[in-house]
Amino acid sequence: MTAEQIIDGTIDAPPAPSSAAFSWLKPHPIFVIILVGPEETPFGIQKDFLCHRSTFYRRYFADGGADESVEHVVRLPDFTGEVFGLAQHYLYTGRLLADDKTVPSYEALVGLWNLGHKLAVEGLCDKTLELMKECRRLTERIPAPPLLVQVWRDTPQGSAIRLLLLSWAAEYMRLSDARAEFAKSLPQEVLSELVVAMSAFDMSPAPDADSPSDGGAGVGARKNVHYLDDEADEGAASKPKKSRRPSGVQGMPASSQDPSTGRRPARTPLPKLTKRRSSAAVVVGRTFTAAQKLEFCADLLNRMLSGPGA
């Protein structure tokens, strides 16, 4: 059996040989020239070292992807020189940044995550996500919608990078004044996952803690909903009026005096009105279940997309 087969794990072998298969104390004269990007920028890495760090290339050469010459040429047309340079630095040093004062762009970091995933470089994807979090801390910004669309196009469902960006997008939708425009710029696939992510934010503990004082709970509920109601469109200014009127629904004993005046038939439209304002009534007086949160978010995003200019 060849050394590549042992490293690749295609035969039964103890873990020790795979970790000891590569050593800088040994000669590694064979190089792999990697032509990166459409412009084919050349990078040279020792074949043994590349196979040691990348499962993709270990299998590629073990399966006869290149002949046994002194130099091999492979291509990575879908990545930039900047992205592969970051990956090369990580391969040799275990760190992503050569200069701690310079943080790569989100575009470069998304490309780096994709490269680490494609080449199966151990630890590269996790390090990239850590750097993305640091980038957000320093810039106080999240990736723009076009980059989110690219991530959903190029990464597998349920991947760690998707989950991270979903959590950021959900937080943005709750706090930003530009949430409606942000939601309209996202495709349906991203929006559907965003609804689920937003419903995962459990806001019920705070109202429960304030439940002994009804006034405090009402204020907390109103704050949570106002973040969402403002997303719909500029007509959201009418929402507070609607949310106040159900308090009149709770005061229905006042209208129940009307039957004594012979106005029972006038009460027939009330079920339609209360049905139309039921979501607001629930917001003011109750806490959400997970199903209610999901339904509310779905209805909210639908109203965003069908609003003015859609």
**What is this structure's pTM?**
0.60
CB environment 283-306: b (16+ within 10 A), e (fewer): bbeebbeeeebbebbbebbebbee
Per-residue confidence (pLDDT) for residue 53, from 0 to 100? 95
CATH of segment(s) 30-141: 3.30.710.10
DSSP designation for 250 = H
Split at pLDDT 50, 70, 90, the class of 10 is very low
Token couple for 154: 């190029």
Long-range contact set of residues 36-43: C-beta below 8 Å, sequence gap at least 24: 36/75, 36/76, 36/77, 36/79, 36/80, 36/81, 36/83, 36/84, 37/76, 37/77, 37/79, 37/80, 37/81, 37/84, 38/77, 39/81, 40/75, 40/77, 41/81, 41/84, 43/81, 43/84, 43/85, 43/88
Written as one letter, the residue type at 80 is T
pLDDT greater at residue 152 or residue 224: 152
* pLDDT at residue 17 greater than cutoff 80: no
For the chain, the structural domain boundaries read 30-141, 143-201
| Mean pLDDT (whole number) for 198-208 | 55
* pLDDT at residue 11 greater than cutoff 60: no
Per-residue confidence (pLDDT) for residue 180, from 0 to 100? 85
Express each pLDDT in 21-75 by its tens digit: 789 899 999 999 999 999 999 999 999 999 999 999 999 998 875 566 778 999 9
Secondary structure (3-state) at 159: coil
Express each pLDDT in 128-163 by its tens digit: 999 999 999 999 999 999 999 999 999 999 999 999
Written as one letter, the residue type at 165 is L
Phi, psi of 222 (to 5 degrees): -65, -40
Token couple for 31: 């190089």
| Highest mean pLDDT, choosing among 114-118, 216-220, 234-238, 244-248 | 114-118
Per-residue confidence (pLDDT) for residue 67, from 0 to 100? 62
